[in-house]
Structure 1
């Protein structure tokens, strides 16, 4: 089954289902397009994400952990899902709700701040050599 979602997101299990429980979301007003500054910030996040994945995936890091603003719980996002969410944000101005990771291994996820620090440290190692 194919749907219109960006790569990296799981397929919609209710695609073409007339009793789709998310049908109520169709009445929600569409998101406003991102302004130039917001677009630039998301594009920078995508570029950073590519660097972080290149540096950390080979070390066993599966993605990022983010504290949810709504529920104040940790949410674990694999690299592909993060990329898909950021691309969706660029295209639609919002990110759709998605299922949380099932039984994630918290040790396999790091924060944005950790990624920034790790990338900075790697740059210093390269400069010192």
Structure 2
């Protein structure tokens, strides 16, 4: 399933009949996004593309997001976040995945930082993205 969403780590239990997560598949099906939610995710994907083009060359590896469930920072590289958003469009859910191993927080920025940075670049410069 993860091959459908490049950027997500490979499923270590792919094609394993004893996959411990197999029992969860039927318990929590994704809820299809309504038109407004779908539009918001598509806009996030478009924004993500711009942010990556502006910030990756400056050494930013991705985004940090505060998890609503555990209240911890979760670090997502550009590809993983893109895959998560695409999966949300297709499935209405995002499957769990392993967090980044020993991330360096200074290499990640927030969505708000990205928005502000992009606004400044587009307002005061002629960006080449």
What's the TM-score bracket when you normalise by the shorter of the two chains? Answer: over 0.9
Q: Which runs of 4+ in 1 moved over 3 A?
A: 2-5
The match for 1:31 is 30
Is the counterpart of residue 17 in structure 1 residue 23 in structure 2?
A: no
For 1:110-121, list aligned pairs within 5 A: 110-121=109-120
- For normalisation by structure 1, the TM-score amounts to 0.93
Q: TM-score, normalised by structure 2?
A: 0.93
Answer yes or no: is 1:80 the counterpart of 2:79. Answer: yes
Structure 2 match to 1:5: 4
Evaluate the alpha carbon distance shift between residue 73 and residue 29 of structure 1 in structure 2; reply closer, same or farther with a 3 A threshold. Answer: closer
Distance 1:3 1:41, change over 3 A: closer
Aligned-residue RMSD, C-alpha: 1.4
Query: Which structure is richer in relative contact order (CA contacts within 8 A, separation 6 or more)?
Result: 2
- Measure the CA separation in 2 of the matches of 1:106 and 1:57: 15
Aligned twin of 1:65: 64
**Is there any run of 5+ residues in structure 1 with no aligned partner, and where?**
none
SS at match of 2:75: strand
Q: 5+ residue gaps in structure 2? A: none
- Provide the rounded CA distance (Å) in 1 between the counterparts of 2:52 and 2:2: 26
